[in-house]
Amino acid sequence: MGCLTWLFDRFASEPTRSFMLWRDQAFSYAWLLSHIAEWNSRLDAADVTPGTVVAIEGDYSPEVVALMLALIERATILVPLTSSVEVHKEEFKQIAEVQVVIAIDAEERGSISRRATEVTNELTRSLISKGDPGLVLFSSGSTGKSKAALHNFMGLLEKFKTRRHSMVTLTFLLLDHIGGINTLLYVLSNTGCVVTVQDRDPDHVCAAIERHRVEVLPTSPTFLNLLLISEAYKRHDLSSLKRVTYGTEPMPEHTLQRIHEIMPGVELLQTYGLSEIGIMRSKSRSSDSLWVKVGGEDFETRIKDGTLWLKARSAMLGYLNAPSPFDADGWFNTGDAVEVDGEYIRILGRQSEMINVGGQKVYPAEVESVLLQLPNVRDVAVVGEPNPITGQVVVARFNLFEPEDVGAFRKRMRAFCRDHLASFKIPAKIVIVEDEQYSQRFKKMRRQPAMAAGGTTNES
Amino acid sequence: MNRSELMDLIVTTLHDLLASDPARADVSIEDGTRLYGPEGLLDSLRLVSLVLDLEQEINDRLDTAITIADSRAMSQQRSPFRTVGSLADYIVGLLAREQSAA
């Protein structure tokens, strides 16, 4: 029997329950089992054997989930590719040495095609020889070239064997993201239900929460900022929500407080995970606290020079296209700067995004949190810029609601910051931009230099 | 932008920057007023802000692309950032160079 027998047994015990709401239609666990069986025959017919590297092209849908499970059970190496990485698809297929592509179109029809590729990567080959299923995830590439992390799927599955609460969960992250995979496996292993949305703007998401009585919303700080700005929460009944989880980037403190104010009964939980390591179990000190305890049975943590290091049982095997980031003892440097208070940590931001002003450290998230409270500010990204006097200076790129004279804006921005930030953290330079500053994964983009951001100053 | 217009701009920008500092809010600013160093009006952070504010303001108004603080400014025998007047002189020089290059 395959590696998912325990999971399929759980599905079989709840045949009439829905595992997914897709385009407002419910799909049951019985449906899922029968479609997994159908895929099995098709994969047999197409001679997709264990150890084949298979790319799945398609967004979140019942058929994609059935196919994924059939491929895991068959011990293939999965490479999920969604439309959000459209421009990189060919590059990603080459890096992962994809041999079979299965595309699921908008009508849920699948087509299988082969590529003449030989698997040469040593990591992939050793996983194949073990006979275990694999998963290749690409980092978002904000630091330059995307890195391909190869996981042994068995390690990722292990923690889901323990039964936990099943709840109606809205999926926000896609299946090419460790968070999206984690949410799906969590829901399926507890025979819960995932609610998918076609459009991820706050009003569509809130409408889906209201219509399907969603209980859990896993999301990102950027989305929660958009929720506040759009005031979509005022137009929809969100009373079914029990838990909102947030991760992938540091949470601005004031965003968390505002969300806690508008949904006081909802548990707000910070999650922590990386494509290289998986998602850790975590516990926020309280709903309005940024202090979080991370770890769980399968993880060890330590702090070295203010940076979080992790060791995980379910860590990836390595990168397919970069040197191993693990040290000799298997520890991984997350690159996240943290503060420590007993068992709790607080994530300050990426070490690489830290701005050094005359020797003093500035983390963008803290400054952004203050700047977001300024009237007429819709969004802001804080970055460092070289400066011959202080090494670097703090630059803030703003999106405003209404056009405003840049000089007048700068003046009131500085006056406001003086009461809320140490002087070296106050932006020395501001740019007003038109383009949105978050990615398709609703994560803040700080990387592009201020000049290349299409920046315009509103000065006449 | 001539020197006296530049002086006006520097004085206004300085007053804006110092507005929140009760000890210095009403200080009179003249050609020889020290910007940085002993008895200087500004700390390093405010000096950086002054320079970036002036850059942005001048470049917006004149559609130029001058950089006031760069390695050339830092390697001058006498720092352009000593006094209000020396800064004005330095910027006048930058603008003249920019014009002759255009």
The string of pLDDT tens digits covering residues A21-50 is: 999 899 999 999 999 999 999 999 999 999
pLDDT at residue B22, rounded to an integer: 72
Tell me the average pLDDT of chain A: 89
Q: Do A459 and B60 touch (CB under 8 A)?
A: yes
What domains sit in chain B, N to C, each tagged with a CATH number? Answer: 3-101 (1.10.1200.10)
pLDDT at residue A141, rounded to an integer: 52
> Which residues on chain B are in Cβ contact (under 8 Å) with A387?
48, 69
**Which residue in A355, A395, A429 has the most chain B C-beta atoms within 10 A of its own C-beta, making it the best mutation to test that interface?**
A429
**SS3 of A194, please?**
strand
pLDDT along chain B (102 residues), means of 10: 93 87 80 85 88 91 89 82 93 90 74
Q: At B45, list the tokens.
A: 């952070």
Beta bridge partners of A340: A345
- Nearest Cβ partner for B16 among A390, A411, A426: A411
Q: Do A358 and B44 touch (CB under 8 A)?
A: yes
Cβ atoms of A311 and A330 closer than 8 Å: yes
A71 CB-side CA count, 13 A: 26
pTM: 0.76
- d(CA A408, nearest CA chain B) in Å: 10
B17 CB-side CA count, 13 A: 27
Q: At A296, list the tokens.
A: 């769980």
Cβ atoms of B75 and B81 closer than 8 Å: no
Neighbours of A90 (CB within 10 A): 10
Neighbours of A359 (CB within 10 A): 8
Question: So what CATH class is A27-153?
Answer: alpha beta
> Which residues on chain A are in Cβ contact (under 8 Å) with B71?
388
Q: Do B45 and A457 touch (CB under 8 A)?
A: no
pLDDT at residue A215, rounded to an integer: 96
Does residue A456 surpass a pLDDT of 50?
Answer: no
- d(CA A456, nearest CA chain B) in Å: 10
Quickly state the pLDDT bin for A144 (edges 50, 70, 90). Answer: low
Tell me the pLDDT tens digit for each residue of A391-419: 899 999 999 999 998 888 998 999 999 88
Q: Where in chain A is the domain with CATH 3.30.300.30?
A: 354-453
Q: Do B69 and A387 touch (CB under 8 A)?
A: yes
Quickly state the pLDDT bin for A86 (edges 50, 70, 90). Answer: confident
Q: Is A424 on the interface with B (CB under 8 A)?
A: yes
Determine the straight-line distance between the first and last CA of chain A, rounded to whole angstroms.
Answer: 72
* Residue position matching structure tokens 């995979």: A181
Tell me the pLDDT tens digit for each residue of A374-392: 999 999 999 999 888 888 9
- d(CA B90, nearest CA chain A) in Å: 16
Amino acid at A192: G
Round the CA-based radius of gyration of chain B to a whole number and report it: 13
Q: Where in chain A is the domain with CATH 3.40.50.980?
A: 27-153
Angle between helices A364-371 and A253-262 (to 10 degrees): 50
Q: At A433, list the tokens.
A: 């931009």
Q: Which CATH superfamily hosts domain A354-453?
A: ANL, C-terminal domain (3.30.300.30)
Long-range contacts of residues A68-72, Cβ cutoff 8 Å, at least 24 apart: A68/A175, A69/A4, A69/A7, A69/A32, A69/A36, A69/A188, A70/A36, A70/A39, A70/A40, A70/A43, A71/A39, A71/A43, A71/A133, A72/A3, A72/A4, A72/A133, A72/A153, A72/A157
Sign of the CA dihedral with A30 first, then A36, A40, and A46 last: positive
Does residue A234 surpass a pLDDT of 60?
Answer: yes
Nearest alpha-carbon partner for A324 in A182, A148, A125, A137: A148
> Which residues on chain B are in Cβ contact (under 8 Å) with A411?
16, 19
